Amino acid sequence: MKRIHIINILLTVVIFLTSCENFLFEDPKAAISSENFFKTQNDALVAINAIYSSITGYYGSNVYYYGDISTDIANNGAGVGGLQVMDYLITDETFRGTWTVLFRTINYANLAIRHISGIQMDEAIKVRSIAEARFLRALCYFELVKCFGGVPKITEPTVDDSNNRLPRATVNEIYELIIQDLEHAESALKTTTDVGRPTQGAAKSMLAKVYIQRGDWTNTLKKTSEVIQSGIYKLVPDYKDVFDVKKENGVEHIFSIQFKSGSALGGGSGYTSAFACRGPNIMLNGQTGGEAIATRRTFYQSVPNHYRKERFLVEEFPSPHYPEITAKGVVTVGPACMKYWDPTFGVNVGGGDNNWMVVRYADVLLMYAEAENEINGPTVNAYEKINEVRKRARDRNGDGTDEPDDLAELPDLESLTKDEFRDAVAKERAMELCFEGHHRWDLLRTNKFLSAMKEIGLSPSEMHLLFPIPRLEILANPNLTQNPLYPD
């Protein structure tokens, strides 16, 4: 399952949004509603596919704005926007779009959770389907609580206006729901399943991400240990293969949002264009790069020169790693991140084939190293996990052999204090996971966001620790309050 077919979401939108009034007191038997739709196993599968299709609306765009552009490692390329200049506007459609997409996806999940249990169908598929719905609901709430803090807690399908007038739940209440959903998914999902669907390992990994965001080192270490000890996942030998569109859904990819080009209805991703620089224009097939995001040169200069940097943070073209790109010159707005380069972008209709990796094995190893250090100090196990990531990052041949120059720039870590190891993990996460939507949340959970932004010359305040609740949502719901320091 490279991607859930777009036709399923179109059908499901009709199913979920069609409503009938009792015109002349007639009973329209042909009408479809959630009450008379959920009858068969196929209905259940269509409902689950709708959740997957809906959530791409967030991961297909705003995820990197929030996780990267709003931080010290990236700018918004040739574009303009408040996320770069610390001017978060309550009228910004970016925020409302995120709110709308994620709550719509939550409603789809709530419909599936509520109704699939009553369908006479294969019991194993029923259990898996409900677990997938709860996993995806947890994922939506995790993104919402990180962005906005406490949000309305909605666990039942929206059938009238009551869900639209709920007050904000507390941050703790939202995290309790997230953990309950992920624990259910962990217990119900198998270790292996169809490509693109969450597994038990994905649920454990997401629990680890939730726990580390909360500063729960014990449970972070527990869940990352379980993922590592399962033996299912590993680092691919060559770092470039993590992002090769022909090698997606491999042993390092624990859970990814799926995209697939080739349909006039859409379904592909736009990452190649968004990350492609215009000056010089590196796009192929006569197109111009969107250049929605670029590397801040301060971050680029802070990264030691080694294979990982050379391969995916490119300041000048031509590059030996991308012989198909004939453009020449230094990138004007900052080095281009090439993690999402798809040389076939634009050949097929409907975008590119790049997936969005929500969590991968290198992330798990670094979470383990961080949690182990916080609990026990820089132990042998902590060094082992972070050095495994560093060794792969400098292995330009993918053969496990250190190149002398790369080793000199990025040696194995050793003899660090607890504080030094903590800082080393933070820097390694920034280098390894940059432009994958994690950095803002790492800075926030380690209380480094404000200082990091000040170091690049911006003037953040406590207000910027959360994004604003969209103004139209405040106007529509009299029980919804704004985040501190923002105007209503």
Give dist(CA 12, CA 105) in Å, integer: 12
C-alpha distances (whole Å) from 363 to each of 146, 209, 248, 265, 425 are: 18, 9, 16, 33, 11
* Reported confidence tier of residue 217, pLDDT bands at 50, 70, 90: very high
Q: Cα separation of 441 and 483, whole Å?
A: 18
Q: Is residue 129 pLDDT above 60, yes or no?
A: yes
Q: Mean per-residue pLDDT for 152-172? A: 94
Residues 397/275, Cβ–Cβ less than 8 Å: no
CB-facing half-sphere around the CA of 412: CA atoms within 13 A = 11
Check: pTM over 0.85? Answer yes or no. yes
The set of residues, in sequence order, having a beta carbon less than 8 Å from that of 373 and lying 6+ positions away, is 379, 382, 418, 421, 422, 425
The secondary element (H helix, E strand) that includes residue 451 is helix 449-455
Average pLDDT, rounded, for the chain: 90
Task: Give the gyration radius of the chain's Cα atoms.
Answer: 23
* 46 touches 8 (CB < 8 A): yes
- Predicted confidence at residue 317, as pLDDT, reads 97
End-to-end CA distance of the chain: 44
Question: Which residue would you say has higher pLDDT here, 77 or 421?
Answer: 421
Q: What is the pLDDT at residue 16?
A: 43
Domain ranges of the chain: 6-188+467-476
Mean pLDDT of all residues in 82-94: 74
What percent of the chain clears pLDDT 70, i.e. is strictly above it? 90
Q: What is the DSSP string of 274-302?
A: HH--BTTB--STT-------EE-HHHHHH
Phi, psi of 75 (to 5 degrees): -125, 175
Q: Which two tokens stand for residue 10?
A: 């179109």
**Confidence check: pLDDT of 15 > 70:** no
Pick the CATH number of 6-188+467-476 from 1.25.40.390, 1.20.1050.10, 1.20.1300.10, 3.40.640.10: 1.25.40.390
The mean pLDDT value for 239-268 works out to 89
SS3 content of the chain, % helix, strand, coil (to 5): 50, 5, 45
CA-CA distance, 2 to 261, in Å (whole number)? Answer: 10
Q: Indicate if the pLDDT at residue 14 is higher than 70.
A: no
59 contacts: CB under 8 Å, gap ≥ 6: 257, 356, 358
Residue-level pLDDT at 82: 54
CA 463 to each of CA 66, 109, 143, 172, 485: distance values in angstroms, whole numbers, following the listed order = 15, 31, 18, 20, 6
Long-range pairs of 83-87 with CB within 8 A, sequence gap ≥ 24: 85/458, 86/453, 86/458, 86/459, 86/460, 86/464
Q: Residue 329: pLDDT above 70?
A: yes
Tell me which DSSP letter residue 267 carries.
-
**pLDDT (mean) for 360-386:** 98
Q: What is the pLDDT of residue 33?
A: 53
Q: Which range (61-75, 365-379, 423-437, 466-480) has the least confidence?
A: 61-75
Half-sphere exposure of 375 (CA within 13 A, CB side): 17
Residue type, 359: V
Contacts 24+ apart (CB under 8 A), 229-233: 230/191, 230/201, 232/191, 232/192, 232/201, 233/201, 233/361, 233/364
Over residues 444-461, the pLDDT tens digits come to 999 999 999 999 999 899
pLDDT in tens, 280-318: 999 998 888 888 899 999 999 999 999 999 999 999 999
State the average pLDDT over residues 226-249: 96
Question: What average pLDDT does this structure show over 96-116?
Answer: 96
Beta bridge partners of 257: 356
**Beta bridge pairs of residue 352:** 269
Q: Which two tokens stand for residue 439?
A: 């950095």
Report whether pLDDT(194) > 80. Answer: no
Q: 280 preceded by cis ω (within 30°)?
A: yes
> Are 32 and 14 within 8 A, CB to CB?
yes
Alpha-carbon distance of 117 to 240, in angstroms, equals 43
Backbone conformation region of residue 325, classed left if phi is above 0, alpha if psi is from -120 to 50, else beta: beta
Report residue 202 as tokens.
Answer: 């994905």
Query: How many Å apart are CA 169 and CA 416, to the nearest integer?
Result: 42
Within 13 A of 269's CA, how many CA atoms are on the CB side? 29
